[in-house]
Every structure is written in C-alpha cells, then in structure tokens.
Structure 1
C-alpha cells in the first residue's frame, strides 16, 4: 500500500471508521472525513480530538471530495444517495468499503491474527493485543470495541492500537460476509451459532477462513468449531490445528477448576503437549472469559510467545468497554453496562452474574426487529431458563432506524413468552419508561444490567440510571 495518499472517510466518527483512519494515518497518509453527527452537533469532543490529531473535517455534503486521487472510504453499503459518494463518482475518485480497506491492510502484514466467531471476538482481540504488547511485539490492532488497557486521556477511542507494520491483529466479521477477504497467519474461531446468516453460509465462510490460515485456533466446546478442527485433521493438516476447551484434557489448551471471584476468575491451565500446568487469574468475570483467554493463549502461542509470559500478561488485562462493565454502585445497587444482544451472549452474561447472590433487574433493548423474529424462541427460552424467580426483565421496543423492516414480532412477544414460562417480564413503550420502572423497583443488593448493541446512547442511559438511584 503506497504512503502519502489522501484518504477521505465518510462517517469518520463511527466506531469502526475512526480507529481505521488512525491506523491509515500512522502509515503516513493524509486523512480527511465527514460525519452526520458532526453536522448535527453531536459528540463534539470526538471531532475536536480528530482535528487535534491532524484530521481535516468537512460537512457531509460532498464538498470535501473534489479530486480523482482521493480514496473515499465508505461503510459496507455504498449508497449513491450519500453526497460524498456521489461527489466521489463525479470526481473519478476511488471508492473502497471499510471491510475492503481493513482486509487490504491486514493481508499486507507479513504476520496476522484474525479473530472470528459469533461471540467473544472483541474480548479475544483485546487479550491478544495486550499479551503481544506486553511481550514487546508492537502489534497493530483493529478491534470492534474500546480496549481499556490502551484507553487514556490522549487515546479515548482505543478500539485500535498503532504498532508496527509487520504484525496485524483484527476482529473479523462474518455478518457482512467480509471474513472471506481475510488471509490470516493465525485464524481464531471462538464459536459459531445462528446470529446473522444461515448455518450453511456460516460453515462455508468459517471453513474458508480457517482453511486459508497457517494455524487455526478452535474451540472443542462448540460443535461447529469442533467440526472445523476435524475437517482440517481429515485433510492431513493436524499440525495446523490448536484446540481449546473447558475441562477437556483432549484439547491442546484446557482450563480446569474454575473458581469465580467477584470481578474475575481463577483456573488451572493445562497444556497437552508439554504436560505443563499453570495457575491463571483473570480480572474479567465469567466462564466465557476463561474460554476467551484460552483462545487468546492459543493464538499467541502460535506466534512464539511463551505460555507463562502470556498467562502473566492476562492477569492485568482490564477488559473491553461495555462487556459487563461496572458503571458504579449507589445505595447498595450496582449498575452494569453490557453489549449482550443475541441469546448466546445474554446467556453468558446471566450465568456470570448468577455466580453471585442478588436479584437482577435486566433492561434488554433489542438491536432490531429482524433478530427478534428470527430468534424469538431462543430469546424466550434463554431468558426464562436463566432468570431466577425474583429477577425482572424490562424491554423497550427494538431500535428502529426506519425502512421496510418486518415489525411483526416486538418486545411484548418476548416478554409474554417469558411470563408464560413463569418469570417476571414487562415490555414498555420506550426506554425512558423502562428506566423509570427499574428505578422504582431497585432495592439494596440488586444489580441492574443494561443490555443491547448498535446504540451508543445505552452507556449514557446506564450512567443516568446510576445517578437516579
């Protein structure tokens, strides 16, 4: 990729765009961009930060795109209705999508780690980043969420880490099919379950991804990822597979004797080939984070990091924003902000929280009408199966950004299903009403959990709840 090119990011304030722009800038290129939020006066601090870091900002009206030599970066969908895209076509500028650009940067690195799977991607990516950084390997990292270890006043948007050009770590998404563009040295797949695409499509995408890698790190506790491992073995590529599992000695890396701590976990790590056993401590909670840690350990081991060094680094891994993030405690009530939005992630969160006593007041804001219809039964059975008799689920209607979405299944359908199975669930018309209801219910000893994705205002909502207690 040539340097000193002028890139124009359309929607530069976005959580996926801003870190990518910073990585491209660090490689010596000029960065310009536009954003609707900037035009509407939202999140001004973010745009001040970008200006202070040498980014030229324009209104999102096409006025910033004037030259054929500009490379215009758009989100996955290139719509001619976006003024910058229309201007790019008129000027003869090159247009690339975010997944195209990210995969080009990724594939250009001599060594790369791609982290994929339905759940756990951001956390595993953050863990790999922290271990490699601690080992002095200077990775460049593109994550889908803010890594708390790298966030400070000068880097408030630390979903990326600027490192060297020879080692690139990225969270890789299957929901838009862009996983097919990545050719990783190490491919990690945490788990595969129904989320955005059919199982047939997912098997093809993940199978291609692991098949192209030099080493595939795969979870034996998930039927689909275990099948991927078996496929590689059947192809005579057993040496390319690193497996991990909870409590299963057949895996290359396994975790035993898991013990929950209020803010983390301890476990014994066993390495099959050497017979080595190590004590490990995590400061992020839940059995699912032990599985995430095993995935990260498998990835860095494939890059030559010593297991004891990697385990030591994991002890100081501080977590990912909005992954069971404690907002605060007031009058005996703790507020937790969480990204859980599909049945698997919700289950992991509820199991982790139920390792300790205390009622849960759950606010779940679905991230669309589509997922509710696709996974209605899984949502109902998941909540009803994991809630305790005194827990309460409160749901506003799904996030709706307009358009022709089928809105036949709403939050009341889920709440009614959970009530029919004997648990407390309410659907209210909007989030503000849900907030009022939760504040009214809250008592000392309760934990309020705010769940949902694709809505940056949920964190502000969680902070407001804490203030009202």
Structure 2
C-alpha cells in the first residue's frame, strides 16, 4: 500500500526533529497519525495535543491497522517495531520519501549543506511568509516564526531542510535548492570527503529550475563551474550575489546585498556572526530569483527572530548572558566561537564555554580537527561524549579531544559527569557580571543554561 492509498501513517521515532515535523504535516493533511519513541518530549506532547496517538517505548503492539511505516536513519534494523512491520509486509518509507511525497505537488525549495541549513531554511520561510505566499515549512529546529518545526501552508511553496546524513536528500524532487557548504561530515556513510562532494553535486544536478550555491566553499565553487542553472553567493563580487558594507554587532548585523543584475538591498539581520550573514545572503538570492518584492525580502529578514539552539539567548540575568548553540562539528564550533568571543569582548566580560561532544562516530571522524576550535574562550569545560545511543568500539573519551586541543591546561577542565543540575550550581557561583556562558553541542547540554539560577 502506498502513501496515496493509506489513511494511517506510523512514525517509528516520532519525537525526532525531522520526524515530528513530518508527523505534523501528515496530521494537517488529514492522515491518522500514530508513532512511538523512547520517551516523551516537547515534540511528542505537541503532536499528542494535535491528535496523534503516541506510545512509549517502542513495541510491536504499537502497530495496528496496517499503516504505512516511516523511519529515519536513526532507527536500527534491530528495532522491534521495524522487524514486526517487515514480517507483516507493511510499506516502509524513509523520512525523505515521506517528505518527497509532500513536495511532489508543490514547488519544493530544498536547503542543504553540512552547516547552516536549519537557519537558512527558516530565513527563506520568514521572507516568503512576509510576502504573503503562505509556504509550508519543515525545518530541523524550533523556528520561532513557525511556532515549532513545521507549518502546513496553503501556498505554492514548501521550504524544507534537506538531510544529507544518509544520502536520502537525493530523493527529494526539488524545484529550487540552496547549498550552504560541504565538509568532511557523515563519513560513516560517505567514507570520504570526495563521497560527500559527489552527493552534493548530484543534489544540485537534481534541482529542476535553479540552485543557489555558496561560492565561499571552495569545493562547491569548483563543482558548479559552467552549471547554467546555478547562481553563486558569497562575500566578493566574483559571485552572482554578494555582501558589502558589513557591520557585525552583538546579536545583529547590517549589510548590503548586491547582484550581477544590479540589484541593491540593504538589510538588517537580528542574529549574529558572519556565517549567519552568509545564510542571509543565500535566502535573499533565493527569494529574489523567485520574484519576491524587495520590501518583503527586507522585512522578512529583519523579522527573522532565530531558531532555538542556534546562538539562542536562553538567559540574561544579573548582567550574565547565557547562549546555547547546537554546534558540535569543528567547523561549526569555530564559527560560533568567533561570534561568542566578539560578544564577550563587547561586554568587557569573560567567555566561559561548556562543550559536549556528540556521538562517538562523529568524534572519531573529526578528532584531529578540534585543535584551535575553542580560540577565544577564557575557560573551557569539556563534558563526556553524548552517545546518542551509539556503541563506543574505539573506547573514545573527551580526554582524546583534550589532548588535541593545544589549550592552556590552567584554562580547561574535563568533566567526569554530565549531571547538569549539580554542575550548574557550581557554575552559577563562578560566573561574574558581564560574562558570557556559551553551551555547545547537539545533545542534552541545552538544559544546562536553562537550569542555571543566576538570581542569587
């Protein structure tokens, strides 16, 4: 049974960022939605409130009425529900296949890249929303203007974050696309950087109308030479769109985007850092090529109010600022550290960083790249690796990262526990007026800054 002929969709791992967004779309499209996960969360609670039937934990008894099964790359073959569904001969779809189904009757705008795709997806959605075209949006984070990670719109466009981690983004029927960068990421799947590049080149080739590609990524720029359906963006006028007159401030930036066609757009962006400014240029280039009015581009980007866990201000009390960011790959960490260091200097305070490495496989891939990542930190705490359910065949630990950091031992400490409540009490007593606390990582470190009591 295909999706078109089914009335019920069952998501295994429904609480995942991408999965919960798709489940929301299915509910709005009239499907009966069920699902399971290891534990409840904000995402599962929101879906339950909208009518989804969700059970914890995974159990074959959760599957009834012969639904179409949707899984993500995080679901192992040993999963009890997946094995049961296969034994019944049920239709099993990857998350990207479900997303592709939603895109097939709309003008799909897919945003891909090893870094920055969540923010860029949300920026494009914000501009299109300002323009009144009511786009559907599926994003890998909590977008403030959406009120979650998905919105079912009535308009022509669907703006979707494209997940490259398992190659399934090649299944998307993209009419338009953005590629923000390529990096030595997801090497457990691609094996090497050349494999990553081949996949992104194919993604660009699969785009039917046009693709917006970051020329600041050398590998990307080289691969799109002589591609007529590609427009590039960056920080110099050798690209089709570029930023000039750049003024980076604490939590914002001002800049002008110019294009080869003579377009000049002056912009305010209320999110920090040169990397986010580049994401903004990508969103401008996309929307300009879609024919969106300049005033809507300006207002839509000015109204962009960020994505949770992307340089998110989680506390500002007693002159102490707490920022949380999802960065866990060395490239992301370096970009985030530049913004945080600049912010701390502007406040005449110290930058305290707490980093939680993410997944043993990811650490193994980029272990040698951590050197120099935390430049600008006055003190660095390094937490145990967040396993995300992975085994640890190489017996890696945070100490392996510590040895490669080339950092003054007096200004770094490896934590032996990720008990954020206990550590938070200690940390709160150490922070001083004007300090900036930056929590980094894709795991549960996000709770640390929110637990701190800065009122004492």
| Both proteins in one fold, TM over 0.5 | yes
CA 1:249–1:403: 2 relative to 1, 3 Å: closer
Q: Which residue of 2 aligns with 1:364?
A: 355
CA contact (8 A) 1:127 1:314 kept: yes
CA 1:312–1:463: 2 relative to 1, 3 Å: same
Q: Which residue of 1 aligns with 2:116?
A: 120
Deviations 1:80-102 (A, max 9, x none): 54332233234332121212212
Which segment drifts farther, 306-315 or 118-127? 306-315
CA contact (8 A) 1:217 1:241 kept: yes
CA contact (8 A) 1:336 1:450 kept: yes
CA contact (8 A) 1:131 1:300 kept: yes
Whole-angstrom distance in 1 between the partners of 2:268 and 2:389: 45
Whole-angstrom distance in 2 between the partners of 1:410 and 1:187: 38
1:335 to 322, 331, 338: 322
Q: Which residue of 1 aligns with 2:372?
A: 381
CA contact (8 A) 1:341 1:452 kept: yes
Whole-angstrom distance in 2 between the partners of 1:80 and 1:119: 28
1:14, distance to aligned residue in structure 2 (A): 2.3
Whole-angstrom distance in 1 between the partners of 2:22 and 2:107: 18
1:263 to 247, 251, 261: 251
Which segment drifts farther, 359-368 or 349-358? 349-358
Deviations 1:155-208 (A, max 9, x none): xxx111111374221111111111221231112111111121221111110110
Structure 2: state its 5+ residue gaps. none
2:59 to 54, 58, 61: 61
Structure 1: state its 5+ residue gaps. 152-157
CA contact (8 A) 2:382 2:398 kept: yes
CA contact (8 A) 1:367 1:399 kept: yes
1:467, distance to aligned residue in structure 2 (A): 4.4
CA 1:273–1:416: 2 relative to 1, 3 Å: same
Whole-angstrom distance in 2 between the partners of 1:459 and 1:160: 21
1:423, distance to aligned residue in structure 2 (A): 7.6
Q: Is 2:252 the counterpart of 1:250? A: no
Q: Which residue of 1 aligns with 2:14?
A: 12
1:228, distance to aligned residue in structure 2 (A): 2.5
Q: Is 2:193 the counterpart of 1:199? A: yes
CA contact (8 A) 2:111 2:160 kept: yes
Q: Is 2:86 the counterpart of 1:92? A: no
User: Any residues of structure 2 matched to 1:57-456 within 5 Å, and which?
Assistant: 57-59=54-56, 60-68=58-66, 70-76=67-73, 79=76, 81-106=78-103, 108-151=104-147, 158-164=148-154, 166-197=156-187, 198-213=192-207, 214-230=209-225, 233=226, 237-238=227-228, 240-246=229-235, 248-274=236-262, 276-356=263-343, 357=345, 358-383=349-374, 386-387=375-376, 391-401=378-388, 403-420=390-407, 424-432=411-419, 435=424, 438-453=427-442, 455=443
CA 1:419–1:211: 2 relative to 1, 3 Å: closer
Whole-angstrom distance in 1 between the partners of 2:276 and 2:43: 30
1:47, distance to aligned residue in structure 2 (A): 4.4
CA contact (8 A) 2:360 2:390 kept: no
CA contact (8 A) 2:72 2:95 kept: yes
Whole-angstrom distance in 2 between the partners of 1:451 and 1:206: 27
Normalised by the length of structure 1, the TM-score is 0.88
Whole-angstrom distance in 1 between the partners of 2:253 and 2:453: 26
CA 1:24–1:361: 2 relative to 1, 3 Å: same
**Matched residue of 1:418: which SS?**
coil
CA 1:284–1:80: 2 relative to 1, 3 Å: closer
Whole-angstrom distance in 1 between the partners of 2:132 and 2:47: 28
1:71, distance to aligned residue in structure 2 (A): 0.6
1:13, distance to aligned residue in structure 2 (A): 2.3
1:429, distance to aligned residue in structure 2 (A): 0.7
**Matched residue of 1:63: which SS?**
helix
CA 1:420–1:291: 2 relative to 1, 3 Å: closer
Whole-angstrom distance in 2 between the partners of 1:265 and 1:289: 9
CA contact (8 A) 1:120 1:190 kept: yes
Q: Which residue of 2 aligns with 1:35?
A: 37
CA contact (8 A) 1:8 1:73 kept: yes
CA 1:419–1:90: 2 relative to 1, 3 Å: closer
Whole-angstrom distance in 1 between the partners of 2:308 and 2:162: 18
CA contact (8 A) 2:129 2:300 kept: no
CA 1:420–1:321: 2 relative to 1, 3 Å: closer
Give the paired residue count. Answer: 442
Deviations 1:393-417 (A, max 9, x none): 1001101255542344422232243
Whole-angstrom distance in 2 between the partners of 1:423 and 1:121: 36
